[in-house]
Chain A
Amino acid sequence: MSSHDVIIVGAGITGAAIARELSGFKLKTLILEKEAEAAFGVSKSNSGIIHAGTQNDPGSLKARLCVEGNRLIHDELARDLGLNFIRCGQLIVVFDLKDLPELEKIQRDGETLGVEGLQIVDRLWLNAHEPGLGPEVQAALYVPSAGIISPYRFVYALIENAVKNGVELKTSHKVTAIRRLKDGKHRFEVTASGKIFKAGFLVNAAGLFADELSAMAGAPGFRITPRKGEEYLLDKKREHLVNHIIFPLPTADSKGILIIRTSDGNPMIGPTAHDTGNKNDLATTDEGLAETLKGARRMIPSISKSDIIAYFAGLRPVCGHDFLIRHEEKVPGLVNVAGIQSPGLTAAPAIARHVRGILEENGLELIPRKDFHKQREKPVHLFQIPLSKTRELIKKEPAYGDIVCRCELVSAQEIRDAVKRGARTLDGVKFRTRAQAGRCHGGFCTTRIIKLMQEELGLGPKEITKRGPGTELISDERK
């Protein structure tokens, strides 16, 4: 049996941010994650936009936490955690000047929330600053504080820093039962992968499964409905397709099909927004592709189907219109952090502070740690640095000159670094390093990566998986 002050269920962006926040205090914190690695849930498949805070109901929790999250990422986390956060700004475009009042409303609402620098711009401004826009676009709202980030590397950075500060992470640990105890210090007995863990507080950050987890703990009362979003990545050759992230006017259910810059260079188009009854339905569809292309080309006509090099679908964990973050009075010690749909990636650092406050109000004692290391050493990515820097690196570590992934320029040393930082699967290596994420999809480098992983982890080839048990790549070895 192991005993903790706080157990967090889920190592997505929400759980990771909460863990990192709590790691600044003298606490014993444990994260339980069912997948083989962190960031394998909703947090791996999204748009990677750090929203400014516009396009949310100004009275909502979402809106407030989004603005605050954006500020925290820009002012603190990007530097402390070595995140590649790029504040490229966003344009919300209209195709008809009759819609200008709607842009003005978004501007007013944003200003009320404290979003800075909002400005309505005309076609002349757009011609100068976003020349690829289609002829139908008439005007736009310019939102300078919006930006982009690598969503999984954001999660990994938070987790690494939390672990460095004493948080324990157990992956491949699916919570299957929760029993409530009355032994004073321990209020929960959590079963995961056949093991038992006890804690005084339980934070439910289980994403799509937060409803099931809350019910397990004795607090049914909400349901998560997944809303699918298909996204299509374009070749890096189109890197300079747009200067900003481009949105149409939002509709009731979604922000519409966007042109998204990504921090790794490939532009992306999407996401669609359709409810699906199935929490495992991550399939892309012909219809989704057609809808995405149509929406994107109305704004940037030069996009063509042959630009697409990859695609995926993500599921937004929807629960009403707002985030559901609360202490459950009927189950003292349980804090639900549910319904974290967009802009959850942005809001996560603010959600974490908010949750810290809720825990404290409900009796968790928070004593700051004097030895808290708020900084994390940034991993090396050759694709992010100039050749002159690469030269210096290779002098120190020759394996940075040993290129494994030719499409994305990833060296053997970066693969080894990724495994040392926690990668256990091919997808984990891909998310951390970009190896296999380029146009050849691992056609050339997969065998080499498998061999490097075998060396680092001491595994046989049949034990290497794409993303955990059940996703093995090799079924037999030739005799």
Chain B
Amino acid sequence: MIKRELVIVGGGPAGMAAAIAAAESGVKDILLLERDQHLGGILNQCIHPGFGLHRFKAELTGPEYADRFIKLVRDSSGIEVSLRSFVVKLTGEKRLSYLKPGALEEIEAGAVILATGARERTREMIPIPGSRPAGIYPAGLAQKMINMEGWIPGREAVIIGSGDIGLIMARRMALEGMKVKAVIEIQKTSRGLVRNVVQCLEDFGIPLYLRHRVTGIHGAGRVEKVNVAEVDDEYRDKPGSGFEIKCDTVLISVGLIPENELLEMAGAEMDEKTNTPAAPEVNLTSIPGIFACGNACKIYDLADWVSRDSEKAGKMAAEYLKKVLSNQRRDL
């Protein structure tokens, strides 16, 4: 078992900011584990502008914003980056196991920061009844397909939920020549940023149906149509309000859930409703020496705030390590 001072799981904006801050606070031995082939996390597929307005007073795209941090990580002598490294196990004693092509590694860490991000809520979590044709995508997957691979997922789309990824994808698909027929939102207001409602829907003439829900998705091979109904204050369908929209593509954008399976595995207390660590303060968990930051800790609407809070997590881990060290010295 190899010993490392600080292990950070996740190389998105959260993990990178935490690593840089920890290094600046004097931690000399930091291992940053990222399961993808590159650092940057979800920012890599966010090719639209709108990042860094607060942080850098500049309007950057996701990859540009990530690049500024990647450079700092690479320049820091205390940070070792291991890509395509997937953590499969974490214990309360801060022992980690991770897989990478060709190896299974085991580590004993002095402190751990979990910056594992979030996953999208799915159709199944709502749950929307109907059949299971091809053509239903979590909005983030559609984003990755179009922006990273150049794959256009269909021709006529309906977006369920008005989260920011869904709004941004409405514009993205419209720009790619797809017809975006509607965004359906069960709440009274959009879940996304106002600027996204204006710039991504209104500017493109895409209708937003507030207080409506999709009551069914249908299709034998590909999606053929969705059923929609208006809802009342108790989210019950208003009789007679139902209509259908023909489409071959459905995007689901109904929010994010923090990915905290490792923290749970380590035995930390969780807030079951939000799937976040149960702790008195942001970035803390119920296990001393294990921290969480970024979307794994709570869902943020701007990467700028992720970077800001994650730096605090890096500092907290550095202070924790110092304290442990000085306690050990005193005990000697």
Choose one: A289, A308, A401, A470; the contact of B100 (CB below 8 Å): A401
Size range of the chain B interface in the assembly: 35 or more
Query: A172 within 8 Å of B by Cβ?
Result: no
Query: B154 within 8 Å of A by Cβ?
Result: yes
Q: What B residues does A310 contact at CB under 8 A?
A: 124
Q: Are B86 and A284 in contact (CB under 8 A)?
A: no
Choose one: B120, B129, B146, B149; the contact of A443 (CB below 8 Å): B120
Query: A471 within 8 Å of B by Cβ?
Result: yes
Q: What B residues does A403 contact at CB under 8 A?
A: 35, 86, 88, 99
Majority SS of interface residues in chain A? mixed
Q: Are B102 and A401 in contact (CB under 8 A)?
A: yes
Q: Are B220 and A470 in contact (CB under 8 A)?
A: yes
Binds A, one of B132-140, B193-201, B311-319: B132-140
Closest to A445 in B: B141
Kindly supply a per-residue 1/0 record for chain A positions 393-426, scoring 1 wherever the CB is within 8 Å of any chain B CB and 0 otherwise.
0100011011100100101000000000000000
A465 to B135, CA, bound (A): 10
Q: Are B125 and A308 in contact (CB under 8 A)?
A: yes
Q: What A residues does B138 contact at CB under 8 A?
A: 440-441, 443
Q: What B residues does A285 contact at CB under 8 A?
A: 129
Query: A370 within 8 Å of B by Cβ?
Result: no
Given contacts A447-B149, A475-B153, contact A406 B86 (CB under 8 A): yes
Choose one: B104, B151, B216; the contact of A283 (CB below 8 Å): B216
Choose one: B102, B129, B134, B176; the contact of A466 (CB below 8 Å): B134
Q: What B residues does A478 contact at CB under 8 A?
A: 146, 150-152, 176
Q: What A residues does B119 contact at CB under 8 A?
A: 439-440, 443-444
Q: Are A284 and B130 in contact (CB under 8 A)?
A: yes
Kindly supply a per-residue 1/0 record for chain A positions 244-281, scoring 1 wherever the CB is within 8 Å of any chain B CB and 0 otherwise.
00000000000000000000000000000000000010
Q: Are A467 and B134 in contact (CB under 8 A)?
A: yes
A446 to B103, CA, bound (A): 24
Choose one: B84, B146, B220; the contact of A402 (CB below 8 Å): B84
Q: What B residues does A467 contact at CB under 8 A?
A: 134
Residue of B35, B134, B216, B222 with most chain A CB atoms under a 10 A cut-off: B134
Q: Are A312 and B132 in contact (CB under 8 A)?
A: yes
Closest to A474 in B: B151
Q: Are A471 and B129 in contact (CB under 8 A)?
A: no
Choose one: A391, A471, A476; the contact of B133 (CB below 8 Å): A471
Q: Are A387 and B101 in contact (CB under 8 A)?
A: no
Q: Are A475 and B221 in contact (CB under 8 A)?
A: no
Kindly supply a per-residue 1/0 record for chain A positions 300-316, scoring 1 wherever the CB is within 8 Å of any chain B CB and 0 otherwise.
00000010111110000
Query: A84 within 8 Å of B by Cβ?
Result: no
Query: A473 within 8 Å of B by Cβ?
Result: yes
Kindly supply a per-residue 1/0 record for chain B positions 96-110, scoring 1 wherever the CB is within 8 Å of any chain A CB and 0 otherwise.
010111111000000
Q: Are A446 and B221 in contact (CB under 8 A)?
A: no
A338 to B4, CA, bound (A): 63
A387 to B89, CA, bound (A): 10
Q: What A residues does B86 contact at CB under 8 A?
A: 403, 406
Closest to B144 in A: A447
Kindly supply a per-residue 1/0 record for chain A positions 428-470, scoring 1 wherever the CB is within 8 Å of any chain B CB and 0 otherwise.
0000000000011111101100000000000001000111011
Residue of B89, B120, B149 with most chain A CB atoms under a 10 A cut-off: B149
Distance of B260 from chain A, by nearest CB (Å) = 11
Q: Are B122 and A286 in contact (CB under 8 A)?
A: no
Choose one: B102, B120, B221; the contact of A471 (CB below 8 Å): B221
Q: What A residues does B124 contact at CB under 8 A?
A: 308-311, 441
Query: B72 within 8 Å of A by Cβ?
Result: no
A32 to B43, CA, bound (A): 47
Q: What A residues does B154 contact at CB under 8 A?
A: 475
A272 to B220, CA, bound (A): 21
Q: What A residues does B77 contact at CB under 8 A?
A: none
Query: A282 within 8 Å of B by Cβ?
Result: yes
Closest to B99 in A: A401
Choose one: B88, B129, B131, B248; the contact of A289 (CB below 8 Å): B129
Query: A477 within 8 Å of B by Cβ?
Result: yes
Query: B191 within 8 Å of A by Cβ?
Result: no
Query: B225 within 8 Å of A by Cβ?
Result: no
Query: B127 within 8 Å of A by Cβ?
Result: yes
Distance of A469 from chain B, by nearest CB (Å) = 8
Query: B179 within 8 Å of A by Cβ?
Result: no
Q: Are A446 and B141 in contact (CB under 8 A)?
A: yes
Q: What A residues does B155 contact at CB under 8 A?
A: 475
Q: Are B222 and A472 in contact (CB under 8 A)?
A: yes
Q: What B residues does A191 contact at CB under 8 A?
A: none
Q: Are A443 and B140 in contact (CB under 8 A)?
A: yes
A469 to B220, CA, bound (A): 11
A473 to B152, CA, bound (A): 9
Query: A390 within 8 Å of B by Cβ?
Result: yes
Closest to A441 in B: B122
Q: What B residues does A282 contact at CB under 8 A?
A: 131-132
Query: B145 within 8 Å of A by Cβ?
Result: yes
- State which residues 72-86 of B face A: CB under 8 Å: 84, 86
Query: B53 within 8 Å of A by Cβ?
Result: no
B-side interface residues toward A, CB under 8 Å?
A: 35, 84, 86, 88-89, 97, 99-104, 119-120, 122-125, 127, 129-135, 138, 140-141, 144-146, 148-155, 176, 215-216, 218, 220-222, 248, 264
Q: 8 nearest interchain CB pairs?
A: A470-B221, A398-B102, A478-B150, A466-B134, A471-B134, A403-B86, A443-B138, A476-B152
28 contacts between A and B (CB under 8 A): A283-B131, A308-B127, A310-B124, A311-B124, A311-B127, A398-B101, A401-B99, A401-B100, A401-B103, A402-B84, A411-B99, A439-B122, A440-B119, A440-B138, A441-B124, A443-B141, A444-B141, A446-B141, A447-B144, A447-B145, A473-B153, A475-B152, A475-B154, A475-B248, A476-B151, A477-B150, A477-B151, A478-B151
